[in-house]
Structure 1
Amino acid sequence: MNSDNSIPSAKKDNVLNIGVEQNFDYFFRQYYVALCFFANSIIHNDEDAKDIVQDCFIKFWSNDIVNEKVDIVKSFLYTMVRNRCIDYTRKQKTITKTKSILLKSEEEFEHFDELVFAEMMRQIFDQIEELPETMKTILKKYYFEGKKYKEIAAEMNTTPDAVRMQKTRAIKILKQKLPPHIGLLLMFLLQNLGQ
């Protein structure tokens, strides 16, 4: 056996031909710690970094890439963890900005409870994730990344009017799916995040 804990028949540029479960186990043992360190270097939160890496391995388990070449899998894992860390960072920035907006409007939310706020934000994020892919992408780019209609249209190969229409439809769907009190919070947040 090689000193790097690789499987005897596995070379860095070859496919592991030992079965899906053994392949997964091999990659988990090889890269879990390094991926956690990598994720933590991006988001600076050890526990959340571990959660992100575990989520990526769950997705990896259900993906056919588990039978690909070692270098391809390694690249896939690092890219997936990096992308999840970027999403995590964007969500954290949005939550921080939202809290700041609410603190500025303290008289409107005088007795606002952190737990209630967290639960309401979770419900909003969950509903955004359930939107059709185009609407979800447009909302994230507009509100979370701060992009303008023209930028989004160029990235998505469409017109600014189509982007605006999809954003409007997405908000309408969210308002219909969310309870009224959370819908009001959503409207307040979107109005302030879109500025």
Structure 2
Amino acid sequence: MLYKSNSGFNSTKMLSFKTSFEAYYPSLCFFANRIINNEEAAADITEDVFIKLWEKKPNFSKYKNIKAILYIAVKNACLNYIQQQKRNTAKQHAFAYFAQYESEDFILNEIVRAEVLREVYAALQQLPPEQRRVMHLLFKEGLDSKQVAEELNISIHTVKKHKLNGIKALKKKLGVSGLVVIAVLAHL
């Protein structure tokens, strides 16, 4: 229980803590719930804030702005809760994605995809520097021809020429059609 005796607290400090808890707990729970939209978690967060203050053994009667301290502590705890929920959700999505496709076919397809990308990347590294820079900016950075021209301070015609020559060289090195090369490059 939150009010049990603690050797570092005298009865005045305990009464002050109890008074603060009773006065602010309901409104802090409401406040926390408005931030995180989860009543149970809001109650837990608010209780945790009081427990942490209890463990620090403060004299609540000395605080002029105990209300402000409590609201700030609850707000910060709610923001931490939200960040943790985001991390948990991302992990759950990643796990669900992997579990959904855990089949051997999926794993083999991902290995093949990784190897194809490795080969394409190796072939890209063998292109002349100008073509390699253009291909990198177009496909890896996702820039359009005009942006690449501005970035490299060359004409759009030159960008298109390097792109065409780069795709031709990749087709020749990889032995695949231009459409396959473009599709693979789009996933780099």
Q: TM-score with structure 2 length normalisation?
A: 0.45
Q: Compare the two structures and name the one with the higher helix fraction.
A: 2
The structure number with the bigger radius of gyration is 2
Q: TM-score with structure 1 length normalisation?
A: 0.44
